Amino acid sequence: MLIYSIRRLIQTIPVVIGVTIVVFLLMHLIPGDAAQVIIGEGAPKEQVEKIRENLGLNDPLPLQYWNYVSGLLQGDLGDSIRSSRPIADEIFKSRFWITVELAVYSTILAVFLGILAGIISAVKKSSPADIGVMFIALFGLSMPNFWLGLMLIQYFAVDLGWFRPSGWGTWSQTVLPVITLGTGGAAIIARMTRSSMLEVIGQDYIRTAQAKGVRERVIIYRHALKNAMIPVITVIGLEFGGLLGGAVLTESVFAVNGMGRYVIDSIRARDFPVVQATVLVLSIMFVIVNLLVDISYRYFNKRIDFD
């Protein structure tokens, strides 16, 4: 297990390097001039060129990439064009942890609702309960997060006054964003759990346990669910990464001061270093989550041989 974990950790290094290359190149392909943004429109060409020289924008791309990676290895994500402050400070002192909290809470909600709904749907196959659960799951998959967020704000915050429509920190500010972000994930997990459970329930060892008179609850939760969790865990890991990215719209709708809103504001201001840094951080988070998902497989299925 330890050897496998170390090997998988080493295998993520080329992935991270690839992510830095893609993010770096994408930022250079975006139309616009960072030097022009800093000095403002209508500035003399001489001043623009001077700023480009100071920022190293006139250097060859390989040299710019080397300087970029060298800074990353020292924990330097660059400076914001708007505020002239280190981007690492602006991200990790508050915004990063707000986005992680939102993604974690939303994932917990999605996992709880999705697995419960998937089990009910699989056990009650072709029943009204199964049809109803799958209809709700399809509705959850089809519904845009920003629309759901606006509807929740209108009804529960504006009309009923039960929750606060913006901000982050108290439970009344947390509930609506978490529901908004977690609904789509719950629908996907429910459908995957149902499919995986139906496949496992049809196995011989499940029928043997039923013939021996083992209680249905024990069969479902101890035997069937645990063996059905491998594909579900994969989906959960992907969903967590997706929720980190999906937080962009949700944080904008609820005025949550996390990384999503930070990157949206930076795009509007053409603050390219911030956009580059946030995309890189979220991508690395996704890689780490996938690594943890791979390592967790052995816990749910002892037959998996990592060697």
CB-based contacts of 84, cutoff 8 Å, min separation 6: none
Q: Are 100 and 84 in contact (CB under 8 A)?
A: no
- pLDDT, tens digit only, all 307 positions of the chain: 667 667 777 777 888 888 888 877 776 676 666 666 666 666 667 766 776 666 666 677 788 788 778 877 777 777 777 777 888 888 887 788 888 888 888 888 888 888 888 888 887 777 887 788 788 877 777 777 778 888 888 888 888 888 888 877 788 888 888 888 888 888 888 888 888 888 777 777 777 777 777 777 777 777 777 777 777 877 887 777 777 766 777 887 888 888 877 887 777 777 777 877 888 887 788 788 777 777 776 666 555 555 5
Q: What pLDDT is stored for residue 235 in this prediction?
A: 81
Question: How close are the terminal C-alpha atoms of the chain, in Å?
Answer: 8
Average per-residue pLDDT for the chain? 77
Domain parsing of the chain, residue ranges:
2-73, 95-300
Which is nearest to 78 in space by CA: 283, 272, 287, 245?
Answer: 272
131-154 tens-digit pLDDT: 887 888 777 777 777 788 888 888
Q: Report the CATH fold assignment for 95-300.
A: MetI-like fold (1.10.3720)
Task: Record the tokens describing residue 282, joined without a space.
Answer: 């979220």
Tokens of 251: 């944080």
